Amino acid sequence: MCCRYVLLKEHLAEIVHKLGLEPPAEFASRFNLAPGQLIPAVRAAPAGTGLEIARLNWGLIPAWASPGSERRPNARAETLASKPSFRDAFRTRRCLLPASGFYEWEKIGKARLPWLFRSPGSQPFCLAGIWESRSLPDGTHLETCAVITSEPNAVMRPIHHRMPVILLRDQFDRWLDPRATRPEDMEPLLGPAPNGSLAAVRVGTRVNSTAFDNESCLLPPEPGTEGAAQFDLGLG
């Protein structure tokens, strides 16, 4: 699964500039993005007019679901094409979620110890996403999204049994192509990230609380705290 991530302002700008877009001027760096919040996404614009940046609510609600239905922040890659909650969005409403890194938690006894996963060179990437839109009684639309997850790679496996699907620049156009509506066209993109593409480092437990959303979320554990010892998961 993926339930928190980091997005620096300069990394958002770098990704959207490569796609020929301008970043939203109001966006400030975020260090603890969580489900239920609005997150920036790149998707195909209506009527084949190129790409656009949208602000989507993280936690997908299918268009056909009843009011108050459970939000789904993650969608398993293995069931995207068959599960009613995701299959239509997988075919026609895919998006990119720019990221600087993401967190996952290791369970040791009763402790939940957070790890930050990022590229070894601290380069931005995108999480693969799908989105939905539903009409509200006041005439507006609620647009929601989910992060697609896969089996873990060797870097993630010691920490968690799932990881977000990561897309790199040479995969962006294919993922966003509105003409590609067959699941088999997208399935090659949905595997775990190559082992060398991610590094992991333990961070302090401040990130466990969404009340903290600043650079302190990236700091290592304080000496002497539970689980402060790090072990090598590819951090160079």
Q: How many CB atoms are closer than 10 A to CB 219?
A: 11
Active-site hit among 2, 95, 126, 217: 2
Distance CA 142, CA 148 (A): 20
Residue 145 annotated to the active site: no
Distance CA 208, CA 180 (A): 38
Active-site hit among 26, 52, 95, 104: 104
Residue 226 annotated to the active site: no
Determine contact, residues 101/117, Cβ cutoff 8 Å. Answer: yes
DSSP conformation letters of 202-232: E--GGGGSTT--SGGGGSPPPTTSTT-----
Distance CA 24, CA 1 (A): 27
Distance CA 156, CA 160 (A): 6
Distance CA 87, CA 38 (A): 23
List the catalytic residues. Answer: 2, 104
